[in-house]
Amino acid sequence: MKLCILHFQPVEKYPPAFNFTRVLAATGIQKVEIHLITTDPGNGKQKIQIPDVHIHRVAKWQSGMSRTTRMKLYVRFVVFALLRLLKEKPSALLYYETGSAGAPYFYNIWLNPSCRLFIHYHEYTSPEEYASGMIFHRWLHRLENSLYKKANWVSHTNKDRMKLFDQDLGVDTPKHTYILPNHPPAAWTSSIVKTDDQITADRIGFVYVGALSIETMYVKQMADYIAARPAECFWDIYSDNHTTEAVEFLEKKRATNISFKGAVNYDALPGTLSNYQVGLVLYNGHIPNYIYNVPNKFYEYYVCGLDVWFPKEMVSCLGLVTRDTFPKVIPINFEKLDDVSFHKETERRNFKYHKQEYACEKTYLPLVRLLINEPEELGAN
């Protein structure tokens, strides 16, 4: 049996995608030959290797790509991904996001209708964003609309996004919808309970990991807050996907207790995060995708024992707030940070330890079993 996974964006940029592929390979390798079709992240970018998975990079990203060059990249991906599908002749395929939908459409509709189809979305894209986006991307979305009814699986990362997705489609909603959160590996769950370090640490350590942007995140507000308290706290930032404006702002800030650390290897994150007390999520909710979002960094901070601060605008995170347990999950008004006492918010003395077990191996198991043809009782969402 052959299975193909299509991921237009470089898979290195999406930990949930390569975590899933790792879980799939570890679970179904005796039965399934796995092919991952993706793009090359470009010069100087580290490329991931996954044991027992054939990775095919059918197009290459370049820095500073124009809109026209990006469209050519889409076309190249469709053509070469389709050629790879024709060569491998998979009996099941999974594609991520609208950008990957072209080759699966032609293969599944015209060339191999019996191929089982699975679809997952890292992000939610609103009708307005499709309408204002690239023409080619809009065309891909029109193609994939005809795939939903026949798909064996269509999933989003949380129920809020799935609800919006269904509302956008109206009567053409998929038959089989599921929720697939962005949980990290089980091995990330910290065995060390951080109780006293928040109380006895000389300075509270804040950390942010991920894409960095002034326009779409509360970077300036957080930097002002930290810079004003050099004796009480510090903030380290890890990112290999950042705007020039964001980096220049931090350099001009010249805050001695704020450090831009650059990239960090994903598998090294648990050790890195253990040096801090609070993990930050900073999206300001400029589009629905970020209002209805529980990003993978949210769970990564949490399972490594850090408290999580997130903007109150992020509606989908509100259901995970903790009240009398730690690690704490706290909604923050980043427009009024001076009203926030981080000593009070990081206090654990009167709080009970209770940590939810978030593990991608368990989360992904229903999808893995369906892909490798081991159906079980699954509840659609």
SS3 per-residue string spanning 200-211: HCCCEEEEEECC
pTM exceeds cut of 0.85:
yes
Examine the pLDDT at 120 and tell me if it is beyond 80.
Answer: yes
User: d(Cα 306, Cα 326) in Å, to the nearest integer?
Assistant: 9
Give residue-wise pLDDT tens across range 9-59.
Answer: 999 999 999 999 999 999 866 678 999 999 999 887 889 999 999 999 999
Structure tokens at 58: 């059918």
CATH 3.40.50.2000 for domain 2-182+360-371: yes
Contacts 24+ apart (CB under 8 A), 243-252: 243/212, 243/213, 243/214, 243/215, 245/213, 245/214, 245/215, 246/212, 246/213, 246/214, 246/219, 247/212, 249/214, 249/219, 249/220, 249/223, 250/219, 250/223
- At the topology level of CATH, where does 186-353 sit? Rossmann fold (3.40.50)
Task: Sheet containing 33-40: give its strands across.
Answer: 53-60, 33-40, 2-7, 92-96, 116-120, 153-156, 177-179
Domain range annotation of the chain:
2-182+360-371, 186-353
Q: What is the mean pLDDT of the chain?
A: 92
For residue 205, the model assigns a pLDDT of 95
Give residue-wise pLDDT tens across range 262-305.
Answer: 999 999 999 999 999 999 999 999 999 999 999 999 999 999 99
Alpha helices in 59-158 (DSSP H): 67-88, 102-105, 127-132, 135-145
Give residue-wise pLDDT tens across range 349-374.
Answer: 888 888 888 999 999 999 999 998 86
Phi and psi angles of residue 233, each rounded to the nearest 5 degrees, phi first: -155, 165
> CB count, 10 Å around CB of 297?
24
CA atoms within 13 A on the CB side of 9: 15
pLDDT range class, residue 256, cuts 50, 70, 90:
very high
Bigger pLDDT: 377 or 279?
279
For residue 341, the model assigns a pLDDT of 85
Give residue-wise pLDDT tens across range 302-323.
Answer: 999 999 999 999 999 999 999 8
Give residue-wise pLDDT tens across range 123-143.
Answer: 999 999 999 999 999 999 999
For residue 346, the model assigns a pLDDT of 85
For residue 194, the model assigns a pLDDT of 58
Give residue-wise pLDDT tens across range 182-211.
Answer: 999 999 986 565 555 555 567 899 999 999
Q: Which of 43-47, 119-123, 233-237, 241-245 has the lowest mean pLDDT?
A: 43-47
